[in-house]
């Protein structure tokens, strides 16, 4: 046996280390408990006084500070006890109502006082438990992190390379984004062979910003870039950086870039960058301060690496206008790529991609499915294919048919059918009248989307029934007339209830919300109000707030104009329904009888009760078509609830 033994023989120190750390962890918990015990011992040295004693002591000037709980009060006296610390007393009291003068006395005689909510024994027990659990968890993370300092472990816990997570994604998985893919090819080329680009001295973007609404494939594109180039993918969401503690977000940014540099060439993807990238504030509150620090760190990090080091940072946002200008300066996110919701052809391609592994019936034309899903983004289309496949499987079919897609579409729009729900007969009639009103108004007004289906079958989401429209082709431009007719259609439900049942119900909130939203945009964004002129007021349509300093009076005028447009649309719906009262009755009865009717049945009823005097064209103040509102931003197409 030799005198020495090498440190590396037998057990390496690796497995031992966590054991030591666990020992430390248990030690720390014991210390914590001891401290807690001492604290509660101290608490027991608080003297118990009556309220009278306390009040007299206060008036005598003995009391220094007071904490008023709901059931008791704690006070610190000016005199010290044996061991030199200030004397503490506790008295019961029953709140400020019992002694209204107390506040005055406190103002006069005590240095300081505050009102507190009592923490019950259970709550404080839970709090202690939470502290212990957190402590153990923290120590656990430290031992996992290989004995790094606690702060480092904390900041390291989130950023992870997620390249190993799933199957490799390529551009073949991305459909309908041809231009975006073309632009990103260059990035792929650079990531594949950074040396070649460096040698040629080409200017490679450091940061690429993907701009587009949710579900349009921004994350997918970023993954595809890393997949095509075969480089690691580091993904973080802007909200991951936002922690309670100031400085953690900034540390995570540093950490992320350090990791990326070690693995270059690679791709960093920051989702929802607007969460950190908002314009920096001047007067900083706590949360803003944290965001500013994180953003500053991100700017420093992006400037810090060399353009030829083989790192590309991609980021996604739906609101590029809110980003701090420093973030989109040259050398940072200076390349912007739009990721728009898909058009008809794009939707068909996305459906094709997602049904690659789904057996489709030969007669099924995905173009038709694409036509009925105007306004859907890629994520919703992927969901639709999945729903349709599930529905077909449930019915025991071995191919997915068009009917499955239609049913899946309705489900996604309206929540799953609730056929089982029993409806009161009067409610059922009201819903039939309401839906007949929507359908009749929409079908009678020229230029709107044709009605595809009307139903009074109850659905989830508290919807009584709905009228579904099927846009035949993609529409990017909406004329004033089109929008007014759309408003009339939306208000047709309540208008019919008023005419046929003499009252309206509370089931039409979403109709009114949508109608108000459209009317507001017509006034504030599309310049369609003759009174307010062709001005874009840029006022947030949801809240009616904001805009760069429009006067109270302008805001009020906008409200009045919105009102006027809605009144006009309601009057249009009313007059139409009055003229076609016979058709309304016939349609209501048919709905009560059949529950669901399709376009052909609807038009059969309308043809047998023709309009005596068709409406004149253009009902409202004139205006040119709005500036290409995307079908998605005008999210009122497709289905009409209630």
| In the block, residue with structure tokens 């610390």 | 85
Name the one range near ligand ADP by CB under 6 A: 101-109, 170-178, 489-497, 532-540: 170-178
Q: Does residue 435 have an active-site annotation?
A: yes
Q: In this structure, what DSSP letter does residue 117 have?
A: P
Contact between 219 and ligand ADP per CB under 6 A: yes
* Selected binder of Zn ion within 290, 348, 406, 511 (CB under 5 A): 511
- Taking the complex as a whole, the smallest distance from the CB of residue 484 to Zn ion amounts, in Å, to 17
**Does residue 75 belong to the site contacting ligand ADP (CB under 6 A)?**
no
> Nearer Cβ to ligand ADP, position 227 or 378?
378
Whether cis (ω within 30° of 0) applies to the bond prior to 98 is no
- Residues in binding contact with ligand ADP, number by CB under 6 A: 17
- Residue 642 partner contact from ligand ADP, Zn ion, Mg ion, none using kind-dependent CB cut-offs of 5 to 8 Å: Zn ion
Using CB under 6 A as the binding rule, whether residue 528 contacts ligand ADP is answered as: no
Cα 150 to chain centroid, rounded = 33
> In terms of CB distance, is 380 or 511 closer to ligand ADP?
380
Q: Tell me the residue number closest to Mg ion, measured at CB.
A: 219
Strand order in 266-271's β-sheet? 160-161, 233-237, 266-271, 311-317, 207-211, 335-338
d(CA 210, CA 320): 9
Residue range at the interface with Mg ion (CB under 5 A); choices 191-199, 205-213, 216-224, 354-362 = 216-224
| Partner from Zn ion, ligand ADP, Mg ion, none binding residue 382, C-beta < 5-8 Å depending on class | ligand ADP
Q: Which of 21, 58, 102, 174 binds ligand ADP (CB under 6 A)?
A: 174
Structure tokens at 455: 């139903």
378 binds ligand ADP (CB under 6 A): yes
- The sign of the torsion formed by the CA atoms of 99, 103, 104, 107 equals positive
Name every residue whose Cβ is closer than 8 Å to that of residue 277 and which is 6 or more positions away in sequence.
238, 295, 298, 315, 317, 322, 323, 324, 327
Task: State the minimum distance, in angstroms, from the CB of residue 169 to ligand ADP.
Answer: 8
User: Residue 236 pairs with which residues in a beta bridge?
Assistant: 270
Nearer to Mg ion, 210 or 565 (CB): 210
Minimum gap (Å) between residue 595 Cβ and ligand ADP: 34
Site for Zn ion in 15-74 (CB under 5 A): none
- Going by C-alpha positions, the residue among 358, 407, 402 that lies closest to residue 382 is 358
CB 328 within 8 A of CB 209: yes
Residue corresponding to tokens 């439900």: 493
CA-wise closest residue to 85 among 60, 64, 105, 69: 64
Question: Least distance from C-beta 137 to Zn ion, angstroms?
Answer: 50
Q: Is 497 in the site for Zn ion (CB under 5 A)?
A: no
Which CB sits closer to ligand ADP, 218 or 520?
Answer: 218
CB nearer ligand ADP, residue 215 or residue 641: 215
The span from the CA of 630 to the CA of 476, in Å, is: 6
219 binds Mg ion per the rule CB under 5 A: yes
Judged by CB under 5 A, the residue of 159, 341, 493, 626 near Zn ion is: 493
Q: How far apart are the C-alpha atoms of 186 and 189, rounded to whole Å?
A: 5
Query: Which one of 39-47, 173-181, 239-247, 425-433 is the stretch in contact with ligand ADP (CB under 6 A)?
Result: 173-181
Told to check if 220 binds ligand ADP by CB under 6 A, we report yes
User: Least distance to ligand ADP from the beta carbon of 312, Å?
Assistant: 17
For position 445 contacting ligand ADP by CB under 6 A, the verdict is no
**Residue with the CB atom nearest ligand ADP in the bound state:** 378
- Tell me which of Mg ion, ligand ADP, Zn ion, none is bound by residue 175, counting a contact when its beta carbon lies within the kind-specific cut-off of 5 to 8 angstroms: ligand ADP
C-beta of 471 vs 493, nearer to Zn ion: 493
Across 22-161, the runs of DSSP E, i.e. the strands, are 47-49, 63-68, 72-80, 86-92, 112-115, 160-161
The item of ligand ADP, Zn ion, Mg ion, none sharing an interface with residue 217, based on CB under 5 to 8 Å by kind, is ligand ADP
Q: Does 631 sit near ligand ADP (CB under 6 A)?
A: no
Site string for ligand ADP, 278-317 (x = CB under 6 A): --------------------------------------x-
Query: Smallest gap, in angstroms, from Cβ of residue 71 to ligand ADP?
Result: 51
Q: Which helix (H) or strand (E) holds 341?
A: none
Q: Is 25 in the site for ligand ADP (CB under 6 A)?
A: no
Catalytic residue among 435, 481, 497, 561: 435
No. of H helices and E strands in the chain? 22, 15
Torsion of CA 572, 459, 590, 473, to 10 degrees: 60
- In the complex, what is the shortest distance from the CB of residue 601 to Zn ion, in angstroms, rounded to a whole number? 19
Given candidates 207, 215, 493, 527, which one binds ligand ADP under the rule CB under 6 A?
Answer: 215
Structure tokens at 573: 């719906």
Please choose which of Zn ion, ligand ADP, Mg ion, none residue 511 contacts, taking the beta carbon within 5 to 8 angstroms, the exact cut-off set by kind: Zn ion
Q: What is the 3-state secondary structure (H, E, C) of 291-338?
A: HHHHHHHHHHHHHHCCCCCCEEEEEEECCHHHECHHHHCCCCCCEEEE
359, burial (CB in 10 Å: exposed 0-12, middle 13-18, buried 19+):
exposed
Q: Count of CB atoms within 10 A of residue 282's CB? A: 7
Question: Can you read off the two tokens belonging to residue 180?
Answer: 């975006």
Q: How far is the CB of 355 from ligand ADP (least distance, A)?
A: 11
Are the CB atoms for 186 and 200 separated by under 8 Å?
no
Torsions phi, psi for 86 (to 5 deg): -60, 145
Site string for Zn ion, 378-417 (x = CB under 5 A): ----------------------------------------
Given 62, 216, 407, 494, the residue binding ligand ADP (CB under 6 A): 216
Considering the complex, what minimum distance in angstroms separates the CB of residue 165 from ligand ADP? 12
Does residue 177 interact with ligand ADP by CB under 6 A? yes
- Asked if 382 is part of the footprint of ligand ADP (rule: CB under 6 A), the reply reads yes
Contact 487, 519 (CB under 8 A): yes
Q: Give the bridge partners for 596, in sequence order.
A: 455
Closest alpha carbon to 569 in 502, 615, 638:
615
- Contacts with Zn ion by CB under 5 A lie at 493, 511, 642
Task: Give the residues lining the site for Mg ion (CB under 5 A).
Answer: 219
Binding site for ligand ADP (CB under 6 A): 174-177, 214-220, 316, 350, 353, 378-379, 382
Residues catalogued as catalytic = 435
């Amino acid at each position: 046996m030799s005198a020495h033994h090498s440190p590396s023989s037998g057990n390496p120190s690796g497995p031992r280390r966590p054991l030591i750390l666990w020992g430390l962890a248990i030690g720390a918990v014991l210390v914590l408990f001891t401290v807690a015990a001492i604290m509660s011992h101290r608490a027991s040295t608080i003297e118990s006084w009556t309220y009278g004693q306390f009040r007299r002591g206060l008036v005598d000037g003995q009391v220094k500070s007071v904490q008023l709980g709901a059931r008791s009060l704690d006070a610190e006296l000016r005199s010290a006890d044996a061991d030199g610390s200030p004397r503490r007393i506790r008295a019961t009291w029953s709140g400020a109502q019992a002694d209204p003068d107390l506040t005055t006395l406190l103002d006069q005689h005590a240095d300081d006082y505050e009102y507190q909510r009592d923490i019950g024994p259970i709550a404080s027990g839970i709090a202690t438990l939470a502290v212990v659990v957190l402590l153990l968890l923290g120590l656990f993370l430290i031992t996992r992190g290989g004995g790094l300092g606690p702060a480092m472990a904390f900041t390291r816990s989130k950023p992870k390379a997620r390249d190993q997570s799933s199957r490799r994604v390529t551009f073949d998985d991305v459909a309908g984004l041809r231009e975006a893919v073309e632009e990103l090819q260059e990035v792929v080329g650079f990531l594949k062979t950074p040396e070649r680009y460096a040698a040629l001295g080409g200017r490679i973007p450091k940061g690429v910003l993907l701009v587009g609404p949710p579900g349009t494939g921004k994350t997918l594109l970023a993954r595809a870039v890393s997949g095509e180039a075969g480089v690691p993918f580091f993904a973080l969401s802007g909200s991951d950086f936002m922690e309670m503690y100031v400085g953690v977000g900034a540390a995570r940014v540093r950490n992320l870039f350090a990791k990326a540099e070690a693995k270059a060439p690679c791709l960093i993807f920051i989702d929802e960058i607007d969460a950190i990238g908002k314009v920096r504030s001047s007067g900083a509150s706590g949360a803003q301060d944290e965001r500013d620090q994180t953003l500053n760190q991100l700017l420093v990090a992006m400037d810090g690496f060399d353009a030829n080091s083989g790192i590309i940072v991609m980021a996604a946002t739906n609101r590029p206008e809110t980003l701090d200008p420093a973030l989109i300066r040259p050398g940072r996110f200076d390349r912007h790529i739009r990721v728009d919701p898909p058009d008809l052809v794009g939707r068909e391609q996305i459906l094709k991609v997602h049904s690659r592994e789904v057996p489709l019936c030969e007669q099924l034309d995905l173009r038709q499915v694409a036509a009925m899903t105007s306004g859907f983004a890629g994520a919703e289309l992927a969901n639709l294919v999945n729903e349709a496949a599930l529905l077909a499987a449930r019915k025991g079919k071995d191919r997915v048919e068009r009917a499955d897609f239609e049913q899946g579409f309705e489900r996604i729009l309206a929540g799953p059918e609730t056929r089982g729900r029993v409806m009161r007969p009067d409610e059922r009639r009201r819903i039939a009248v309401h839906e007949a009103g929507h359908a009749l108004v929409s079908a009678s007004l020229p230029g709107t989307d044709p009605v595809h289906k009307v139903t009074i079958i109850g659905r989830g989401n508290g919807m009584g029934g709905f009228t579904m429209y099927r846009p035949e082709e993609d529409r990017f431009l909406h004329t004033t007339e089109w929008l007014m007719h759309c408003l009339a259609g939306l208000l047709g439900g309540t208008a019919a209830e008023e005419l046929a049942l003499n009252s309206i119900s509370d089931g039409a909130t979403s109709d009114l919300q949508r109608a108000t939203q459209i009317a507001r945009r017509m006034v504030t964004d599309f310049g369609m109000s003759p009174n307010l002129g062709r001005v874009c007021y840029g006022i947030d349509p949801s809240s009616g707030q904001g805009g760069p300093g429009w006067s109270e009076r302008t805001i009020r005028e906008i409200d009045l104009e919105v009102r006027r447009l809605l009144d006009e649309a309601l009057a249009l719906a009313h007059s139409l329904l009055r003229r076609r009262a016979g058709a309304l009755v016939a349609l209501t009865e048919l709905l009560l009888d059949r529950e669901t009717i399709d376009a052909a049945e609807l038009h059969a009823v309308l043809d047998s009760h023709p309009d005596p005097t068709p409406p004149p064209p253009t009902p409202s103040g004139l205006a040119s078509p709005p500036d290409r509102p995307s079908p998605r931003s005008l999210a009122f197409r497709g289905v009409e609830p209630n």
